[in-house]
């Protein structure tokens, strides 16, 4: 057990280390129903993609993925998800982001997600008939999961 001084010192160290490295971490979830996948389209970035977002303080990657899935789609994750992979996100915006990617096969529809300032659309798509504009990362993860193509280490935009 750490004493109060050790906890304070560790908290300061980890906070400063995080600020220095300016790292971000996120979670994305592929909700799967047979050959169908649940995708979203944001209002502020192009393309269809998996629900997900940043991991908050005190939250695990899996908890963040489940929370974001519910918030962005109206579907609640039931039980544990499969951690499919960890990826380095090298988007045009940053190279300091990392994504934990989960697969969810057990879920419950809680509510119909309405269009708002963040989410333009939510939809189920057959993996063989994806909508126009699917992001490269989304397409790559679908290929990795369903077709067992070699996993990449970069998220890919």
- Residue 10: predicted pLDDT: 63
Mean pLDDT of the chain: 89
In sequence order, what are the residues at sequence separation of 6 or more whose Cβ sits closer than 8 angstroms to the Cβ of residue 29? 50, 51, 52, 65, 66, 68, 69, 77, 81, 101, 102, 103, 104
Q: pLDDT digits over 57-111, tens only?
A: 899 999 999 999 999 999 999 999 999 999 998 777 677 788 999 999 999 999 9
0.95 exceeded by pTM: no
- At residue 41 the predicted structure's pLDDT band, cuts being 50, 70 and 90, is very high
24-146 carries CATH number 3.90.79.10: yes
CA distance 27 to 14: 21
At residue 67, the 3 state secondary structure works out as helix
């Amino acid at each position: 057990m750490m004493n109060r001084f050790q906890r304070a010192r560790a908290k300061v160290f980890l906070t400063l280390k995080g600020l220095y490295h300016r790292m971000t971490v996120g979670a994305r979830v592929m909700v799967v129903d047979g050959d169908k996948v649940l995708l979203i389209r944001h209002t502020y970035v192009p393309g269809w993609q998996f629900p997900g977002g940043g991991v908050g303080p005190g939250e695990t990657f899996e908890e963040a993925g489940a929370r974001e899935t519910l918030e962005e789609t109206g579907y609640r994750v039931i039980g544990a998800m499969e951690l499919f992979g960890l990826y380095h996100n090298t988007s045009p915006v940053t190279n300091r982001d990392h994504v934990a990617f989960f697969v969810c096969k057990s879920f419950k529809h809680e509510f119909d997600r309405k269009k708002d300032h963040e989410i333009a659309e939510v939809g189920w798509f057959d993996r063989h008939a994806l909508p126009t504009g699917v992001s490269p990362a989304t397409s790559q993860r679908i290929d990795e999961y369903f077709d067992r193509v070699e996993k990449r280490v970069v998220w890919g935009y």
